[in-house]
């Protein structure tokens, strides 16, 4: 069984640029959630995708957008990067069948630095 | 709105001593509660979860947590700390929306003294 993988591991961008982060779900999972973890803080929910459609969004501006593909892999896109976007971005996959207690399995994260 | 509060951003214990990490939750409905561990430069790993079954929940690596509704608490304990337990620990609650988003606390860094 393959776990959740994310790419790239690290990324350095400058203000105003755009970035795409990628996530491959654990085998059999149809739901992907993205979280932003700033240094020294707990992860903050960005959004969730279920069967290729957005299924909830946290308090993040529209320049944070996402996609989920038919194989349930996912992308997180961030436009017009700001210094405060520097963080660890975590992807989590789960098998959602309407039960809130389903475990979410986390990838190792992508460390984004905006200069 | 649901939330969790972790008391103490940093806890230091001696190897072999009791580990106690505190978490209080706020929820208008019966919550699902979780403890996650994060080792340096890694993602989050689920230690244990409470889903309204037994109030004492046993997890991996010898950790357990007790759900106390009267105190709105879900503290994490381990009888004897090991050097390998040094990590960041996050208490979390499932949100009320259909997205099942996890709401995390701010984390507690656990250090183990030799």
pLDDT digits (tens, 9 = 90+) for B8-58: 999 999 999 999 999 999 877 778 899 999 998 788 999 999 887 788 999
In Å, how far are A26, A85, A110, B61, B83 from B58, measured between CA atoms?
A: 25, 36, 31, 9, 20
B-chain residues within 8 Å CB-CB of A109?
42-43
Calculate the average pLDDT of chain B: 91
pLDDT band at A104 (very low <50, low <70, confident <90, very high): confident
B-chain residues within 8 Å CB-CB of A49?
none
Determine whether the interchain pair A94/B100 forms a contact, defined as Cβ–Cβ distance below 8 Å. yes
pLDDT band at A98 (very low <50, low <70, confident <90, very high): low
Interface contact B3, partner A, CB < 8 A:
no
Q: Choose between B59 and A97: higher pLDDT.
A: B59
Helix (H, G, I), strand (E, B) or coil at B108: strand
Determine the distance in angstroms separating the CA of A17 from the nearest CA of chain B, rounded to an integer. 25
B-chain residues within 8 Å CB-CB of A48?
99-101
pLDDT exceeding 70 applies to what percent of chain B? Answer: 96
Determine whether the interchain pair A58/B101 forms a contact, defined as Cβ–Cβ distance below 8 Å. yes
pLDDT for the residue numbered B54:
83
In Å, how far are A46, A61, B112 from A82, measured between CA atoms?
A: 16, 12, 37
Which neighbouring-strand residues pair with A94? A31
């Amino acid at each position: 069984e393959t776990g959740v993988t994310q790419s790239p591991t690290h990324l350095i961008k400058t203000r105003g640029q755009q970035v795409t982060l990628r996530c491959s779900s654990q085998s059999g999972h149809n739901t992907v959630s993205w979280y932003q973890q700033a240094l020294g803080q707990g992860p903050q929910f960005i959004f969730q995708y279920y069967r290729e459609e957005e299924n909830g969004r946290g308090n993040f501006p529209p320049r944070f957008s996402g996609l989920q593909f038919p194989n349930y892999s996912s992308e997180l896109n961030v436009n017009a990067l700001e210094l405060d976007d520097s963080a660890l971005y975590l992807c989590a996959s789960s098998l959602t069948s309407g039960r809130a207690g389903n475990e979410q399995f986390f990838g190792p994260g992508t460390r984004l630095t905006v200069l | 709105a649901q939330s969790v509060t972790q008391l103490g951003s940093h806890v230091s214990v001696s190897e072999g001593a009791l580990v106690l990490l505190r978490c209080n939750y706020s929820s208008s409905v019966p919550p699902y509660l979780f403890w996650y561990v994060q080792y340096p430069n890694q993602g989050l790993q689920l230690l244990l979860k409470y889903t309204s079954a037994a109030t004492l929940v046993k997890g991996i690596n010898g950790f357990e947590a007790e759900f106390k509704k009267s105190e709105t608490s879900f503290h994490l304990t381990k009888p004897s700390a090991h050097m390998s337990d040094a990590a960041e620990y996050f208490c979390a609650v499932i949100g009320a929306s259909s997205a099942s988003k996890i709401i995390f606390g701010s984390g507690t860094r656990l250090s183990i003294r030799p």
